């Protein structure tokens, strides 16, 4: 019986699972998808999705969490736990203690025991019915008296480190790794994750063999060139990607690709790598294995959505050392003397603005996916990414600083800057993009005729043109759409709106509750999802708002300030703890000018 795992895809080839499964008389598979393992089973029980099911967990010792369904089951499925209870009742052939018990009643009875053992605590002060109601609201019940998780985590890490053995590889070593977006590939059929560009390589829709610039020069390899690499007795073909900063003797490939039974999005994308792992007693070895490579004359283009790696001396991502910051924090950013022909715009009600702290941003890209989900942004696929038809409203730019042999990476989230002096607005012949009374650069989709003058005039390149219609979604995919946001048809320009629908929703909510609208209640999708709290959004007209204080911070600066666009999205420069910046001065200017040749 197999539930919640896909060993035919994920287990090493040396384990021989495929051959072993063929010898089994009965294989019962419980899952949500007909994946590679399910196709080898002769009995399949469809289970609820985790968002359709009840459950509980103790992720941290002493902290109990209750899982509740967020949606009715879409299909004729049942939970794995209900299946187990039903099968147990059949096996006993008696009405015993299990007769007629459902997973929900079983779970409720379990929490009755928890309630009786912890009576007197704040949540468990009333009767069980009251306690059960509160737990459904709170979701968490803390019964711990102290935390032992730190020592447990430390012991686990030490145990994991003890399993690592020194590689015996004499030439190149093979390493497999998880990407931030696709991870182990269990969600590979989600197009958002396939199109999510890797934070470092900036490539979507493929896995590839990462080699260092020195190795690429030694083996005479180029980006996209297909090579045959051999680990043990298994050969694979993949395109090469030249990755600055990688160890010269290491060849690395991402797992999670090469699915054959994931769905029409993921099937055939990339090459499966997990089967290359070897087995050693009770664990799998995914790194340090000897590998040989042989180049071919074939090329596979890689969908790299950035295409440039260095700032070329421009003040884009500004950096400082801690010592420089302490000495002269106001001298880190070169401030331009601006002479303007534009009149200053007065905002009488609200002036919406955003600040992003580059010191906090890790480049994880969570904001990108949150924005895509919130604003019904379509995925276009590898073919159109290669043609430059990316649709994401929020992107994460990554730059290398320092020597290409040992560079550092810096990240910068980029969305529409909502400029006061917006270059896009002055060139639109039909006034489809205009400035609102609250400082938001808005798009009137019905008015746009697709000239794309605005995209051409935007120095930040954050406007997207919808070349095709992505609105004809088959059930149940239509349920992914946010009903609060217009679904754009082809032929219009679109871009970040500062989640204006959320602003309007909070205003309507305030009217319904007969109270004053509070600007601090509004959170954009990117701000809400950022795990590092790097994004601050609010009303600039309120001097006490968080964003107003951020704009007054000495680290705050405008991107391409010299163009006098007066953006409403600004950044706080990055401060490094190191004594000196690698290969660049404190203005973020790169001294390494030839590094781009390597990638």
490-511 mean pLDDT: 93
366 pLDDT above the threshold of 80: yes
Within 360-427, strands assigned E span 395-401, 408-414
CA distance 511 to 595: 56
Rg (CA), the chain: 28
Tell me if residue 426 falls in helix, strand or coil: helix
pLDDT bucket at 582, cuts 50 / 70 / 90: low
Task: Report pLDDT for 595.
Answer: 36
Which residues touch 420 (CB under 8 Å, ≥6 apart)?
342, 344, 345, 435, 439, 565, 566, 567, 568
Q: What is the pLDDT of residues 145-175, one digit of tens each?
A: 644 455 555 666 676 666 666 666 568 889 9
CA distance 345 to 118: 60
76-102 mean pLDDT: 77
436 pLDDT above the threshold of 80: yes
567 pLDDT above the threshold of 90: yes
- Return the number of other C-beta atoms located less than 10 Å from residue 363's C-beta: 19
Task: Report pLDDT for 337.
Answer: 85
438-453 mean pLDDT: 92
Q: What is the pLDDT of residues 109-130, one digit of tens each?
A: 999 988 888 876 666 677 888 8
Tell me if residue 21 falls in helix, strand or coil: helix
Which residues touch 326 (CB under 8 Å, ≥6 apart)?
none
Picking from 308-317, 383-392, 465-474, which range would have the lowest pLDDT averaged per residue?
Answer: 465-474
Cβ–Cβ under 8 Å, residues 329 and 321: no
**CA distances (Å), origin 261, targets 34, 39, 189, 240, 382:** 7, 8, 9, 26, 20
Task: Report pLDDT for 596.
Answer: 36
The tokens for 444 are: 């009137």
340 pLDDT above the threshold of 70: yes
Average pLDDT, the chain: 86
Task: Report pLDDT for 538.
Answer: 92
561-587 mean pLDDT: 77
Task: Report pLDDT for 98.
Answer: 52
- Tell me which H or E stretch contains 537: strand 535-539
**CA distances (Å), origin 442, targets 106, 178, 288:** 52, 38, 53
564-593 mean pLDDT: 68
- DSSP for 295-324, please give it: EEEEE---EES------TT-SSS-EEEHHH
pLDDT bucket at 598, cuts 50 / 70 / 90: very low
Which residues touch 23 (CB under 8 Å, ≥6 apart)?
none
Task: Report pLDDT for 87.
Answer: 85
**Among candidate residues 170, 178, 162, 184, the one with its CA nearest the CA of residue 289:** 170
pLDDT above 90: percentage of residues in the chain: 50
Picking from 76-80, 91-95, 287-291, 504-508, which range would have the lowest pLDDT averaged per residue?
Answer: 91-95
For the chain, list the domains and their CATH numbers. Answer: 47-142 (no CATH), 172-304 (2.40.40.20), 319-598 (3.30.70.20)
Cβ–Cβ under 8 Å, residues 328 and 355: no
Which residues touch 179 (CB under 8 Å, ≥6 apart)?
198, 207, 254, 256
480 pLDDT above the threshold of 90: no
Query: Taking the model in full, what pTM does it have?
Result: 0.83
């Amino acid at each position: 019986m197999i539930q919640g795992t896909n060993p035919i895809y994920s287990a090493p080839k040396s384990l021989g699972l495929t051959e072993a499964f063929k010898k089994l008389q009965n294989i019962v598979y419980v899952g949500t998808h007909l994946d590679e393992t399910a196709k080898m089973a002769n009995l399949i029980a469809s289970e609820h999705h985790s968002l359709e099911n009840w459950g509980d967990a103790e992720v941290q010792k002493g902290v109990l969490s209750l899982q509740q369904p967020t949606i009715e089951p879409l299909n004729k499925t049942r939970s794995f736990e209900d299946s187990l209870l039903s099968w147990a009742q059949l096996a006993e052939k008696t009405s015993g203690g299990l007769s007629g018990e459902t997973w929900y009643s079983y779970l409720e009875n379990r929490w009755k025991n928890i309630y009786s053992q912890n009576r007197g605590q704040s949540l468990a002060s009333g009767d069980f019915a009251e306690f059960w109601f509160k737990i459904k609201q709170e979701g968490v019940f803390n019964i711990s008296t102290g935390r032992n998780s730190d020592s447990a985590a430390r012991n686990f890490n030490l145990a994991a480190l003890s399993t690592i053995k020194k590689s015996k590889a004499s030439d190149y070593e093979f390493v497999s790794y998880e990407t931030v977006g696709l991870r182990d590939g269990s969600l590979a059929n989600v197009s958002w994750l396939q199109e999510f560009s890797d934070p470092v390589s900036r490539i979507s829709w493929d896995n590839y063999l990462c080699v260092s610039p020195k190795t690429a020069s030694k083996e005479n390899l180029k980006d996209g060139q297909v090579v045959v690499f051999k680990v043990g007795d298994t050969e694979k073909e993949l395109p090469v990607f030249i990755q600055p900063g990688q160890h010269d003797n290491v060849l690395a490939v991402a797992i999670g690709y090469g699915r054959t039974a994931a769905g029409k999005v993921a099937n055939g994308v990339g090459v499966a790598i997990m089967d290359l792992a070897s087995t050693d007693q009770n664990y799998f070895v995914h790194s340090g294995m000897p590998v040989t490579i042989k180049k071919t004359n074939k090329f596979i283009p890689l969908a790299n959505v950035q295409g440039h790696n260095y700032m070329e001396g421009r003040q884009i991502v500004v950096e400082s050392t801690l010592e420089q910051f302490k000495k002269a924090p106001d001298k880190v950013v070169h401030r331009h003397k601006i002479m303007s022909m534009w009149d200053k715009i007065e905002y009488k009600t609200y002036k919406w603005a955003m600040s992003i702290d580059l010191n906090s941003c890790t480049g994880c890209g969570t904001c990108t996916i949150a924005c895509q989900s919130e604003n019904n942004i379509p995925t276009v696929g590898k073919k159109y990414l290669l043609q430059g038809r990316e649709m994401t409203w929020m992107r994460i730019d990554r730059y290398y600083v320092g020597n290409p042999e040992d560079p550092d990476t810096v990240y910068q989230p980029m969305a529409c800057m909502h400029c006061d002096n917006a270059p896009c607005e002055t060139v639109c012949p039909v006034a489809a993009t205009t400035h609102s009374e609250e400082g938001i650069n808005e798009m009137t989709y019905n008015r746009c005729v697709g000239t794309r003058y605005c995209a051409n005039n935007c120095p930040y390149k954050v406007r997207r043109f919808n070349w095709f219609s992505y609105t004809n979604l088959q059930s149940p995919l239509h349920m992914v759409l946010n009903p609060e946001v217009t679904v754009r048809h082809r032929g219009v320009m679109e871009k970040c709106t500062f989640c204006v629908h959320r602003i309007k929703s909070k205003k309507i909510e305030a009217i319904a509750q007969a109270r004053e609208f509070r600007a601090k209640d509004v959170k954009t999708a990117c701000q809400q999802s950022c795990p590092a709290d790097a994004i601050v959004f609010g009303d600039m007209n309120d001097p006490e708002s968080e964003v107003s204080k951020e704009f007054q911070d000495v680290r705050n600066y405008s991107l391409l300030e010299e163009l006098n666009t007066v953006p409403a999205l600004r950044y706080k420069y990055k401060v490094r703890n190191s004594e000196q910046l690698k290969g660049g001065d404190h203005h973020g200017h790169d001294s390494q000018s030839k590094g781009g040749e390597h990638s």
